[in-house]
Amino acid sequence: MVTWLEESGRTGFGDPGRIHSEGMRSRVELENAREQLAAFVGARSREIVFTSGTTESITAATWGAVERSVSPGGSPHIVMSAVEHSAVRLSAESFGAASGGTVTTIGVDSCGRISPDAILNAVTSDTSLVHVQWGNHEVGTLQPVSEIVEGCHQLGVLVHVDASQAVGHVPVDLTALGADLVSFSGHRFGGPVGAGVLYVRRGLRLESLLSGGDQERARRAGLENILACIGLGAAAATLTDTRIADEQQQARLQTERLIAAVTTIPGVAHLGDPDPAGRLPQIVCFAIEGVEPQGVLLGLDQRGVAAHSGSACASEGLEPSPVLEAMGVDAHRSLRLSVGWNTVDADIDVVVDNLPSIIDSLRALAG
């Protein structure tokens, strides 16, 4: 990214949609990044659409699927699980309702896992789209995406996979998966913020969510964020199969250590699949009895640990976590910890050494 900034500073920034020299240089860099992303996720370069991130990709996928079903005069119907990310839930609800359609939400088990049969049995002749996440963003539970994708194809219905938490953390081959639409973001695996991807299966035609130009082969209007795309491609090129395997093993060891240590604290329980093979390697979530999450997060932050609560009340909203509610556990008091490529064992030490006293202090204050 720095190299491109230095070069564009000398030669001038070029719009990749133009045929002058500056524009053609930008086009070469943009298409190189597209090739890097395609190779990384097992796709064709023409199937990669650059976006601003997973949220935009999800919204575009939902909008496009609804428009396909509405244009012949149909009534859109969307199927999704109760543990999907808010970007999926809200886009499905808003676009479905705006077009006079309906949304069917499917429950999950106590681990947060979707039943393929329950999803597929909800599909009707009016179904425009089925949403399924690859791995849950709060408790890390891996979903049976392959079974659901295969079942949707047999029923002739489009399926979108939210792979934001999976890409860069577990092996991903989109051609082998066979999904119609897949969304993910670059910052989840070391790329810059503001860059994401919507994978659109070859042969699938969708209306563009954004209008105004023919960028991204008329699938996403607006001048591309070339700098962020270059960084996204570079991160993808860095993540070889060997490196992903090494990082996955490191993350698994770190999160398993967190589970073993944190669950020794009275009143703390691990949420999600107890089997490591059934969850993402980088995310763990805990229920903390009798303690509000804000105090835990602030206590950890004071010790240099950036954490999050599974409940949205710890950040931008006041609502309990829909994911934890769907699992039938306390949706108000939880702690989510995640590790990344740059997490070291000393970071885990800080959590293990300090979390017990933080929780004890908060419980003492609560009386």
The domain spans of the chain are 2-238, 241-366
- Positions in the chain whose pLDDT score sits under 50: 312-314
| Token pair belonging to 230 | 């270059």
CA dihedral 38→42→46→47, nearest 10 degrees, is -110
* Residue 313 appears among annotated catalytic residues: yes
Name residue 199's amino acid: Y
Q: Cα separation of 116 and 83, whole Å?
A: 14
Q: Which CATH class is domain 2-238?
A: alpha beta
Q: Cα separation of 302 and 312, whole Å?
A: 21
Q: What is the pLDDT of residue 86?
A: 93
Q: What is the pLDDT of residue 70?
A: 74
Q: What is the pLDDT of residue 317?
A: 53
Are the C-beta atoms of residues 222 and 209 closer than 8 Å to each other? no
Residues 6 or more apart in contact with residue 342 via CB below 8 angstroms? none
Q: Which CATH class is domain 241-366?
A: alpha beta
Q: What is the pLDDT of residue 313?
A: 44
How many angstroms separate the most distant Cα atoms in the chain? 71
Q: Cα separation of 199 and 204, whole Å?
A: 10
| Token pair belonging to 238 | 């860095």
| Token pair belonging to 75 | 């009534």
Q: Which of 111, 152, 229, 313 is catalytic?
A: 313
Q: What is the pLDDT of residue 346?
A: 96
